[in-house]
Chain A
C-alpha cells in the first residue's frame, strides 16, 4: 500500500529553519514527483514547491523563493523540505503529496500525514 510518512511536529523560534522529511513507501520513489504543500489554520492549501525525484529538478512558488529548499535522497526514498528565516505566520501544517497522473490528468493522489510547525518566540 502506498504511504508517505513524514517527520514529527516542530516548534521553532523566529529566524530559525526547519527541515521536514517525507518517506515514500509502497511504490518506486523515483517514478513520481513530489509536491510540498502547507496549510495554515483555517486557510486553503498552498503549494510551496515540487521536486522531480528522479532528476532532482525543483520548482518553487515565487512566494517562497529564496527561503525554501526541496531535496531528495533516492537511496532512502525520502524527500525533504527546508524552510528558513521562519516567522510566526509560517505556523502551519506542512505536507508532502505525490504528483500522479490519473488518465492523463495531474493530481495529488497520496498525501503524508502532515507535520505541524509552530513558530513562536
Chain B
C-alpha cells in the first residue's frame, strides 16, 4: 500500500492568518491526491481533488498544489469554521490511503 505522511500533526493559527499543510507519498502518485476536511463527529468533506482542483462550494481560500510525491494544502484568511482535521488521500491505486491527519485550531 502507498503510505501517506502529513506534517505537522497539529497546528494553531489566528483568524485571518494562513497555514500550510504538507503531504508526502511513499511513491509517485502523479496528481491523484485529494484533501478532506473533517469536523468532530462528521464525515470527511472533499476540498481539493487532483492535487489542485477546487471542489464545488469550497471557498477559494483553500488551495492545493504539488505532483509526484509532494503536496501542500494552503488555507488563507483563516475563519473560525476552519477548525477541523485535514487529511490527504491518494487515489492513484487501490487501496486508497489517507495521511494521519493535521488538526488545525483557530485561535
> For chain B, which range describes its interface: under 10, 10 to 19, 20 to 34, or 35 or more residues?
20 to 34
Question: A114: which of B32, B43, B45, B46 is its contact (CB, 8 Å)?
Answer: B43
The CA-CA distance from A112 to B44 in the complex, in Å, is: 10
Is residue A80 within 8 Å, beta carbon to beta carbon, of the partner chain? no
The CA-CA distance from A24 to B37 in the complex, in Å, is: 22
The CA-CA distance from A87 to B4 in the complex, in Å, is: 26
| Interface SS of B by simple majority | loop
Residues B49 and A107 in contact, CB atoms below 8 Å apart? yes
Restricting to B19-69, which residues have a CB under 8 Å from any CB of A?
Answer: 31-32, 34, 36, 43-46, 49-50, 53, 55
Which residues of the other chain, B, contact A61 by a CB distance below 8 angstroms?
A: 1, 94-95
The CA-CA distance from A107 to B90 in the complex, in Å, is: 9
Question: A44: which of B1, B45, B53, B87 is its contact (CB, 8 Å)?
Answer: B87
Residues B32 and A95 in contact, CB atoms below 8 Å apart? no
| Interface SS of A by simple majority | strand
Question: A111: which of B31, B43, B89, B98 is its contact (CB, 8 Å)?
Answer: B43
Residues A113 and B43 in contact, CB atoms below 8 Å apart? yes
Residues A59 and B94 in contact, CB atoms below 8 Å apart? yes
Given contacts A105-B32, A105-B91, contact A47 B97 (CB under 8 A): yes
A32 CB to closest chain B CB (Å) equals: 14
Which residues of the other chain, B, contact A28 by a CB distance below 8 angstroms?
A: none
Which residues of the other chain, B, contact A108 by a CB distance below 8 angstroms?
A: 34, 36, 44, 46, 89, 96
A positions within 8 Å CB-CB of B: 35, 44-47, 49-50, 59, 61-62, 95, 97, 102-109, 111-114
